Amino acid sequence: MPAIRSSAPADLPRLRGTSPAMEQLRKRLAQVAKTPLPVLISGETGTGKEAVARSIHELSGRTGPFIPVDCAALSMQLVETELFGHERGAFTGANQRREGLVHAARGGTFFLDEVGELPMETQTRLLRLLEAGTYRPVGDQGERRADIRVLAATWRDLRKGITEGRFREDLYHRLSIVELRVPPLRERVEDVDELFEHFVVESCAQAGRAPPALEPAVRVHLRRWPWPGNVRELRNVAQYVGAMTPGARVTMNDLPPGLMRPPPELPDTALPMVFPASEIRIDLPYMEARRLFLDDFQQRYVEAVLAAHDNNVSGAARAAGMDRRSIQRIQKRARTGGREP
Ligand SMILES: Nc1ncnc2c1ncn2[C@@H]1O[C@H](COP(=O)(O)OP(=O)(O)OP(=O)(O)O)[C@@H](O)[C@H]1O
Ligand SMILES: [Mg+2]
């Protein structure tokens, strides 16, 4: 894996999501973007840490490039020369002088991804860069000024790194003057619909086809899924759905098989525990939230009672004290994606 990835403006994603957590993040992001302060962006894998870093860069008004560096992918031997460059003859094989990534980021933003992976000696140099705004290429005696904004991201708890002697405490304090936490998707269930639809539309547009509509049961399932891989996992699922759905509607059968298993780390019996928080949509007006909730209840009730009676509608109707036509209507509504047949 290369340590430096493409930073073309074309891959600048718009930060989507209108959940209170996302609005709050966007507000703080806009506040800090214009300052020269370092920012520590924390969050689980796939939550959008790099997307946040790119947004800060875009809003900062800095005209230089955005240079993302994956600290976990840098080779331990070469990390210092990769970051700070080296002089000719600095070590065997250094036939000519080479500029480092700090130089590449001048006038722009230097994004240290997985900063917790940096070796201790490199952390010392980074601290100097943050405090004095200077650095020294390997084998060079003179200090150089660096006009860069430093952003860093971590999924690890750096405080744990400090107690375990893997991370410098002074560097942590310097980096985390501003800390932005990107919440996991399960803490902002309200964003699932918008993000999923966005990625389905995007993948269908690339394939030149009309995006399929999501059935209500699918929406409910997606909102209930805990998304351990966060937005990245959701994007992958949406791309699968966009590419693989044969019809105009996405049914439960069109979801990837991995999503149909009980959610990871949640035993089957724990499932109902996650229902209320994700299903009572206090982000919607009462009548709409009530309709969604009741539609979902009807569908799940009918599905379950049918399953218990080998899909025999008469038997299910008798057991549930419903009439056959009601059951058929609810089944049909599930198939047509929520519209009254
Ligand atoms: N709020 C968002 N709106 C739109 N796209 C998003 C959002 N958050 C993340 N993404 C997209 O999800 C994918 C994963 O995001 P990103 O790479 O920023 O996550 P990360 O936290 O850096 O992940 P990792 O910890 O694995 O490095 C990217 O394609 C990104 O564009
Ligand atoms: Mg990342």
Q: For 247-301, how does the pLDDT look when each residue is reduced to its tens digit (9 = 90+)?
A: 999 999 999 988 877 655 544 433 333 334 346 777 676 766 777 777 778 888 8
Which distant-in-sequence residues (6+ apart) come within 8 Å of 139 by Cβ?
86, 87, 88, 89, 90, 91, 94
pLDDT at 11: 43
* Mean pLDDT value of segment 199-213: 94
Reported confidence tier of residue 13, pLDDT bands at 50, 70, 90: low
Instruction: Pick the atom of ligand 1 nearest to 235's CA.
Output: 12
Q: Please report which residue ranges of the chain form alpha helices under DSSP H.
A: 20-33, 49-60, 79-84, 101-104, 120-132, 158-163, 169-175, 192-207, 216-224, 230-244, 271-279, 286-308, 313-320, 324-335
Ligand 2 centre to CA of 4 (Å) is 12
The best mutation among 18, 230, 232, 236 to test binding of ligand 1, ranked by most ligand atoms within 8 Å of the C-beta, falls on 232
Least-confidence region, from 39-53, 201-215, 321-335: 321-335
Ligand 1 centre to CA of 242 (Å) is 19
Instruction: Name the residue with higher pLDDT: 333 or 177.
Output: 177
Least-confidence region, from 108-112, 247-251, 327-331: 327-331
Instruction: Name the residue with higher pLDDT: 87 or 321.
Output: 87
pLDDT at 279: 64
Q: Where are the domains of the chain?
A: 9-183, 188-267, 280-341
* Mean pLDDT value of segment 38-55: 96
Using CA positions, which residue lies closest to atom 23 of ligand 1?
A: 46
What's the CATH fold of domain 9-183?
Rossmann fold (3.40.50)
pLDDT at 155 exceeding the cut of 80: yes
Q: What is the mean pLDDT of the chain?
A: 86
pLDDT at 338: 52
Write the burial class of residue 258 (CB in 10 Å: 0-12 exposed, 13-18 middle, 19+ buried): exposed
Reported confidence tier of residue 32, pLDDT bands at 50, 70, 90: very high
pTM of the model: 0.76
Q: Which amino acid is at 296?
A: D
Give domain 188-267's CATH architecture.
Orthogonal Bundle (1.10)
Ligand 1 binding pocket, CB closer than 6 Å: 13, 15-17, 43, 45-51, 155, 231-232, 235
Instruction: Name the residue with higher pLDDT: 95 or 11.
Output: 95
The best mutation among 50, 56, 239 to test binding of ligand 1, ranked by most ligand atoms within 8 Å of the C-beta, falls on 50
